[in-house]
A and B are shown apart, each in its own frame.
Chain A
Amino acid sequence: MRFELKDIQCGYSNQAVLQGISFSLEPGEVLCVLGPNGTGKTTLFKTILGLIKPLGGEILFNGENLIHWPRSKMAQVIGYIPQAQNTSFPFSVLDMILMGRTAHLGNFASPSKEDKKIAERAIDTLGISYLTNRIFTELSGGEKQLVLIARALAQEPKILVMDEPTSALDFGNQLKVLSQVRQLADQGLTIIMASHVPDHAFFYATKVMLLNQGGLSGLGKANDIITEERLKALYGVNVKIIKTGIHLYDSEESELSMCVPLPLQYNKSWGLK
């Protein structure tokens, strides 16, 4: 499997927000998209999901341009996890996850026993069987996000697209969701995720893409791409990047880095001892 964006230009009604976006991903890769508010992360994601047509370029899945695919075919390849879900109807968690099966069901069909098994497998993968019979609208933000990931898994896609999936979560839930993302990638899913926290990219991403006004300002491995200078240029703030000495895997490269934000009026003479 290979997922590729070739020179994508995207935006609304012929006004391009982003230009010249190209990357390619293999199974198991996690691409983290970083960029300040308003650079067009959501526009790019909507384009990848087929919600808005690209103004130029190609989106290729195994070499096939998927821009004109029917929805159901597309949903069998790309699953989406929204930032937040605000339905006003009190669906049960199981019903919610079963809706992930839509792309595999005929127009007049409803989920079968087989679909239910697939949904239950997704529930087990995320370890949230204690939520199965709860009401979705009554869950906490973190629990909702885990249910939405389970729903995307029930969809059985090859690629998961997540638009800031942890932005509404507390410290612990952020980590739980991100750890799940890592595990899913280890199982062979390709993941594209937007984030506001560069630390997240150090933690789970195999690739990082930096977006600045108009287009790409960096693409590659997190340790190479996320530098103090680039973050300063991108967000206009002072950041110190520190090697923690913690290794997530058994290799020299996997040493975890962290961003330490500094006050805007940071004075070099304060020094770092």
Chain B
Amino acid sequence: MSNNYASRDGLVEAKAERNLRLVYIFVVLLPIAAFVFSFPLGRYPISIPDLLSALAGKVFPFVHGPEGVINTVIFQVRLPRILAAMLVGAALSIAGAAYQGMFKNPLVSPDILGASSGAGLGAALAIFFSWNVAGIQIAAFVVSLLAVIAVYFLSNKIKRDPTLALVLTGILVGTLCSSFTSLLKYMADPYDKLPAITFWLMGSLATVSPKNVISSFVIMSAGGVPLYLLRWRLNVLSLGEDEGKTLGLETGKLRLAVIICSSLLTAGAVSVSGLIGWVGLIVPHLARMLVGPNYKVLLPVSIAIGSVYMLLVDDLARCLTSAEIPLGILTSIIGAPFFFAILLRGKKGL
């Protein structure tokens, strides 16, 4: 009888391992497929053979790729945009997954500590003072980090459960930033700067340059790599402050590390893309439904799903109509019903 149980358990385990291997294959292949699939899309048609020969021409100097416009479209327009979409999606998803664990709450998104509101204020300031595109991005990034730093230090003053203190001060600073953004919009030139601020806040990847991709890749790696290495410990952190400590976790230090890393990821993402909601909330849910809550597997799967989801939404944004649809609007329109469907599907994701 007990043998029977043991062998059944063994079977279950073997099946679980096989499933996990399938998931890993999916994690690697899906982003590659989405990457290739996204090149031909857009107003300027590019065939797959064109794309392959252009890529080969870039990698091997002896192959002559296509010349002129095709090359420019592929390498100066499509490639940076595709990479930026994938980076932004992945970054927001990792940050969201990490924060959901840290706050012991699956309904948390990466902007809970005011990173997005801060970025919005920074961008609004830069547009108000007529800075150039690079200036807008730098301002968004810096103010976003400043907002989170303010939240962290203010929360340390509150003698309560530290995660609750963080949430409360996050709301406080976030609201403050939004109010100042509104003030700037109110004072801005209504024919020129007001639309620019409003459009930035809706999110878009239309103006992404190769330089943007490189700089945001560096920033996101600085946040993403440590978080990825620490990921197993996020499980223990998600059990709560006291339990984590009694299991041997330096919760204060790990929490600070998660905040720094997630803020770099979020600030790095929104400073390139503008405000994009829902991604960091939905993707970890979807990943948790597929592979369960263990961060060891959850984080890589979140990266894969996040990058693919963002890329596909951006494909829609640039192909659906002749004018671009702001990305933030699309992520919410697609995200909200999608999230409802996840909630209906049951408790496994939560």
Contacts and interface: CB of A to CB of B under 8 A. Distances in A.
Interface of A: 46, 49-51, 70-72, 74-76, 78-80, 82, 85, 87-92, 95, 99-100, 102-105, 107-111, 129-130, 132-133, 137, 155
Interface string B137-156: 00000000000000000000
A108 B249 CA distance: 12
Nearest to B238: A89
B350 interface: yes
Counting chain B residues whose Cβ lies within 8 A of the other chain, the interface size class is 35 or more
Interface string B314-350: 0000000000000000000000000000000001101
Given A87-B104, A109-B232, A133-B12, A92 B292 contact: yes
A90 B235 contact: no
Nearest to A70: B250
A46 B250 CA distance: 16
A124 B314 CA distance: 51
A190 to B, nearest CB: 16
B350 A88 contact: yes
Contact of A75 (B13, B232, B248): B248
Contacts, number: 94
Nearest to A155: B247
A43 B243 CA distance: 15
B246 A89 contact: no
Nearest to B350: A88
B247 A100 contact: yes
B293 A75 contact: no
A107 B230 contact: yes
B101 interface: yes
Given A90-B292, A132-B9, A133-B13, A75 B247 contact: yes
B294 interface: yes
Contact of A82 (B9, B233, B243): B243
Contacts of A129: 5-6, 9
Interface in B227-286: 229-233, 235-236, 238-240, 242-243, 245-250
B215 interface: no
A108 B246 contact: no
A91 B293 contact: yes
A102 B247 contact: yes
Contacts of B250: 70-72
Nearest to B242: A51
Q: Which 7 A-B pairs have the closest CB atoms?
A: A103-B248, A75-B248, A110-B232, A80-B246, A89-B293, A72-B248, A108-B229
Given A90-B348, A129-B9, A95 B243 contact: no
A71 B245 contact: yes
A87 B247 contact: no
A119 B246 CA distance: 17
Contact of A130 (B5, B106, B248, B350): B5
A49 to B, nearest CB: 5
B292 A91 contact: yes
B283 to A, nearest CB: 16
Contacts of A50: 245
Given A90-B348, A95-B294, A99-B239, A49 B246 contact: yes
A157 to B, nearest CB: 10
B248 A133 contact: no
Which of B231, B249, B250 gathers most chain A CB within 10 Å? B249
Given A79-B246, A85-B243, A99 B293 contact: no
Contacts of B296: 110
Contacts of A110: 231-232, 296
